[in-house]
A and B are shown apart, each in its own frame.
Chain A
Amino acid sequence: MDAAREGLPAQATGTDSAGTAPSGRGSGDHGVLGNLMGSSFGRNLGLVVALVLLCLVGIATAGEQFASIDNMLTILRLASVIGVVSIGMTFVITGGGIDLSVGALVALCSVWASTVATQTLANDYHWIVMVSTAVLVGVGAGLVNGLLIAYGRVVPFIATLAMLAGARGLAEIIAQRRTQIIKVDGFREFFGGSVLGVPVLVIMFVLVSVVGWIVLNRTTFGRRTFAVGGNPEAARLAGIKVQRHTVMLYVIVGLCCGIAAVMLMARTTTGSSTHGTLYELDAIAAVVIGGTLLSGGRGTIVGTVFGVLIFTTLSNVFIQNNLSSSAQAVAKGLIIVVAVLLQQRIANRSDGT
């Protein structure tokens, strides 16, 4: 926290010059709808352009096969799991923290929720047992992270790095490094199914995004998150219980990891200690190209959703064209740089007018 505090004032001024500081949020909240639309639209325009460009490339190179509804749903389904994790990540980063343990938490939740014991229990009662196990484990681990960071005064980077190692190791111990296949029928049918043609996973992603957007942009909790991330000292003086708030943020990301683990279990029909590998980097990349400030104080759920969609669409377009995964990694790097550059330009210009 101390390190974050030292770094923050400088960052906050940087944000001010870009005109997208928490105050901008606040005025948008009370001001005309058009004002809010204008600013968030401007901020997200770079992402929309990138996504549209990607889709155009997809359509140009793979035609109907790319534009088919099936393919669109596949992209959305694949984006769902990392998407939910990224929504949680948006909260922590906006609140001035970081969580490197998300991938390991997804693995731990998936393994814990698919042990023989849990599955037997789920078969006897209901698959809800598995879901609540995953969510509870996620929330519990998030709570540990939060307490360490807020009250133990461990730097978020270190605390969650420790959790990354610890949770992945615990997952390996529980699963004995085996892939646990889920045989609870109702579970697979429910989460693997679709409602009105839309996969349940995609619906869950949409729900989590909408709830996340409301909480971040339309509640006191959300406003406090911006305040804590922008300047924790000022937030404390303004009467916000910064420590308790920080704990809550890590609990939220833990909850998201639990939900993501359930979704991943449905997707792969397994729980495994190898699940969620490098999710922390994918989520941070999506959050950052979405326009959330890595040092906190500014965050956007819509941007994050776009960030996730861009990466998922990218790999789909590459596979449609039968291109190698190495080329894909290069493109991913380029997109991160281009999207952030575009975004800065557009943000600056729209502020000028």
Chain B
Amino acid sequence: MSRPIKPSRRIQALTGGALAALLLAAGCTSNTPESDSSGDSGTKANAASSNDETGETVTIGFSGPAADHGWLAAINSAALAEAEKFDDIELKAAEGTNDPSLQISQIETFINDKVDAIVLLPTDGAALTNVAIKAMDAGIPVINVDREFSSPFAARTTILGDNYGMGVSAGTYACDLIEKNDINDPVIAEIAGIDSLPLTQDRSQGFKDALASCDQTVDNRVAAEFTVESGEEQASNLLQAEPKIDIIWNHDDDQGVGVKAAFDNANRDEFFFIGGAGSANAMRWIQDGEMEATVLYPPTQAADGIRLARLIVQNKGLSDLVQVEVPKRIVLNAPVVTKENVDQYIDQGFES
């Protein structure tokens, strides 16, 4: 691990650009904290970091959508729990809301309060862009979580799950299933989330593109609303539209509870059922053999956002990167959880 390399301008330029890193919780912790970590003075800064040592107190404003959905609830609770772990973080958490104008006023309050950093999971990325730019102009770094702003000037760092990648993972896995099981002319169905959200469109596009690589297309597509009830309704209708389905990808494990209920109500299980997000329910189904796989969309992004905000304010970098500054953009990986590796992920599964 020890790399006695002086961080040069070139390396900074190389790594500082479009850097996509898998951020592991373990990656930020270290065994032997050292006193000096500010990149430009120490040569061992990246080998052993002092990132977790208590530094100057950082006031972080956190605002996210209303936790009316298991994944969002997990996002919020993970963020609050992460802030608790650090003595030098003072967290101001705004009440979760689905109303963009209320969220804008929350951010304005943070700006007036002169917080040191803002971690923001916008209800709608585009709608919150202006106020985020305002915060940045006021010298407050904004960490954009999950739903992206429409301007690159609105955030110091963006950390997000890979929605397109989720679709690709699901599609690639579907292709593997088709090949492995030698399915001729497979019927592939997709149960999407709220269709007007860019994240849903990205997931669907990724799924479509990955399927195209094995010459397949989505035969039936319905869109639910991330709620159990809509999942049940859409899945019930979907099952009636096709007498036999080979593969179903459901974007979201929260609505998946309803989707599963619809399968059980109709006594249908002839297909491979692939989920999305990675709820604890889904992982238990995978263990029980009632579900084939689920594609992970980590609910720890806001928690990572809190950590990044602290590092940025304290002028620290990510200890496992050579680069001395926190990257501009971090895209999380979207692995496929199957019966083989479910034990490895089940602790991260969120209760919906």
Report A-chain residues with C-beta under 8 Å of the C-beta of B223.
324-325
Q: How far is the CA of A268 from the CA of B230 in the complex (A)?
A: 9
What are 23 A-B pairs at a CB distance below 8 A? A68-B240, A70-B266, A74-B237, A74-B239, A176-B73, A178-B70, A178-B352, A268-B228, A268-B229, A268-B232, A268-B258, A269-B257, A269-B261, A275-B227, A275-B229, A277-B225, A277-B229, A316-B237, A319-B220, A320-B241, A324-B223, A325-B222, A326-B196
Q: Which residues of B contact A274 (CB under 8 A)?
A: 68-69, 227-229
Contact of B294 with A by CB under 8 A: no
B67 within 8 A of partner (CB): yes
Contact call A272/B228, Cβ cutoff below 8 A = yes
Chain B, Cβ-Cβ closest to A269: B261
From residue B287, how far is it (CB to closest CB) to chain A in Å? 16
The reply to whether B229 and A70 form a contact with Cβ atoms under 8 Å apart is no
Q: Let me know if B257 and A268 touch, CB within 8 A.
A: yes
Give the contacting residue for A319; candidates B68, B241, B261, B351; CB below 8 A.
B241
Q: Is the CB of B240 within 8 A of A264?
A: no
Tell me the minimal C-beta distance from B75 to chain A in angstroms. Answer: 12
B241 x A275 contact (CB < 8 A): no
Bound: A143/B236 CA distance, A: 34
On A, residues with C-beta under 8 Å from B are 62, 65, 68, 70-71, 74, 77-78, 172, 176-179, 181, 192, 264, 267-270, 272-277, 315-316, 319-320, 322, 324-326
Chain A nearest CB, measured from B76 CB (Å):
9
Nearest 8 pairs between A and B by C-beta? A319-B237, A274-B227, A71-B240, A269-B261, A320-B241, A268-B232, A325-B223, A268-B228
B70 x A322 contact (CB < 8 A): no
A7 to B237, CA, bound (A): 42
Chain B neighbourhood of A316, CB < 8 A: 237, 240
Task: Report B216 CB to chain A, min CB distance, Å.
Answer: 15
Do the beta carbons of A322 and B68 come within 8 Å of each other? no
Known: A70-B240, A178-B352, A325-B223. A270 touches B257 (CB 8 A): yes
Output the least CB separation between A55 and chain B (Å): 14
- Interface residues in B227-274 by Cβ distance below 8 A to A read 227-234, 236-243, 254, 257-258, 261, 264-266
Known: A78-B237, A269-B257. 15 other contacts (CB 8 A): A65-B240, A74-B236, A179-B352, A192-B264, A267-B232, A268-B228, A270-B257, A270-B261, A274-B68, A274-B228, A275-B227, A275-B228, A277-B225, A277-B230, A325-B222
Which A residues are in CB contact (< 8 Å) with B219? Answer: 322
Q: Is B34 part of the contact surface with A, judged by Cβ < 8 Å?
A: no
CB of B343 within 8 A of chain A? no
Is residue B36 within 8 Å, beta carbon to beta carbon, of the partner chain?
A: no
List the B side residues contacting A269 at CB < 8 Å.
Answer: 257, 261, 264
Given the complex of chains A and B, what is the CA–CA distance between A315 and B237 in angstroms?
A: 8
Count how many pairs of residues, one from A and one from B, have CB atoms less than 8 Å apart in the complex: 99
CB 8 Å contact bits of B151-174 with A (1 = contact, 0 = none): 000000000000000000000000
Cβ of A322 and Cβ of B220 under 8 Å apart?
Answer: yes
Cα separation A178 to B68 with both chains bound (whole Å): 8
B195 within 8 A of A: yes
B221 within 8 A of A: yes
A316 to B69, CA, bound (A): 26
CA–CA, A9 and B332, complex, Å: 64
Give the chain B neighbours of A78 by CB distance below 8 A. Answer: 233, 236-237
Bound-state Cα–Cα, A275 to B261, Å: 14
Residues in chain A near residue B232, CB distance under 8 A: 267-268
> 1/0 per residue B81-108: CB within 8 Å of A?
0000000000000000000000000000
Instruction: Pick the most buried of A179, A181, A269, A274: most chain B CB atoms within 10 A of its CB.
Output: A179
Contacts of B233 in A (CB 8 A): 78, 315
Report the bound CA distance from A326 to B201 in whole Å. 13
Contact between A272 and B229, CB atoms less than 8 A apart: yes
B229 and A179 contacting across the interface, CB-CB below 8 Å? no
Q: Pick the contact of A272 from B220, B227, B234, B264 — CB < 8 Å? A: B227
A274-B228, A322-B220, A324-B223 given; A177·B237 CB < 8 A = no
Provide the residues of chain A in CB contact with B266, threshold 8 Å: 70, 74
Q: Which residues of B contact A71 (CB under 8 A)?
A: 240
Tell which of B196, B241, B257 touches A179, judged by Cβ atoms closer than 8 Å: B257
Residue of B nearest to A107 (CB): B229
Contacts of A277 in B (CB 8 A): 225, 227, 229-230
- Is B258 a contact partner of A270 (Cβ separation < 8 A)? yes
Instruction: Give min CB distance, B78 to chain A, whole Å.
Output: 14
A179-B226 Cα distance, complex, nearest whole Å: 12
Least CB distance from B251 to A in Å reads: 14
Q: B228 and A270: CB pair below 8 A?
A: yes
Once the chains are docked, how many angstroms separate the CA of A313 from the CA of B228? 20
Chain A residues with CB under 8 A of B220: 319, 322
CA distance A320 to B219 in the complex (A): 11
Contacts of B227 in A (CB 8 A): 272, 274-275, 277
Bound form: Cα–Cα A70–B238 in Å: 12
Nearest opposing residue in chain A for B265, CB measure: A192
Contacts of A325 in B (CB 8 A): 195, 222-223
Q: Are B243 and A65 in contact (CB under 8 A)?
A: yes
Evaluate contact between B351 and A178: CB separation under 8 angstroms.
yes
- A275 to B69, alpha carbons, bound, how many Å? 11
Closest residue on chain B to residue A325 by CB atoms = B223
A273 to B220, CA, bound (A): 29
A315 and B225 alpha carbons, distance in the complex (Å): 14
* B114, chain A: closest CB distance, angstroms: 31
Are B240 and A179 neighbours in the complex by a CB distance under 8 Å? no
B152–chain A nearest beta-carbon distance, Å: 30
A324 to B69, CA, bound (A): 24
Q: Quote the shortest CB–CB distance from B256 to chain A (angstroms).
A: 10
| Distance from B93 Cβ to chain A, minimum over Cβ atoms (Å) | 15
Measured CB to CB, the nearest residue on chain B to A71 is: B240
Q: Of all chain A residues, which has the CB nearest B227? A: A274
B68 CB contact (under 8 Å) in A62, A65, A177, A324: A177
A275 to B225, CA, bound (A): 11
A319 to B242, CA, bound (A): 10
User: Which of chain B's residues has its CB closest to A270's CB?
Assistant: B228
Complex formed: what's the CA distance from A177 to B70 in Å?
Answer: 7
B241 touches A62 (CB 8 A): yes
Complex: chain B residue closest to A192, CB-CB: B265
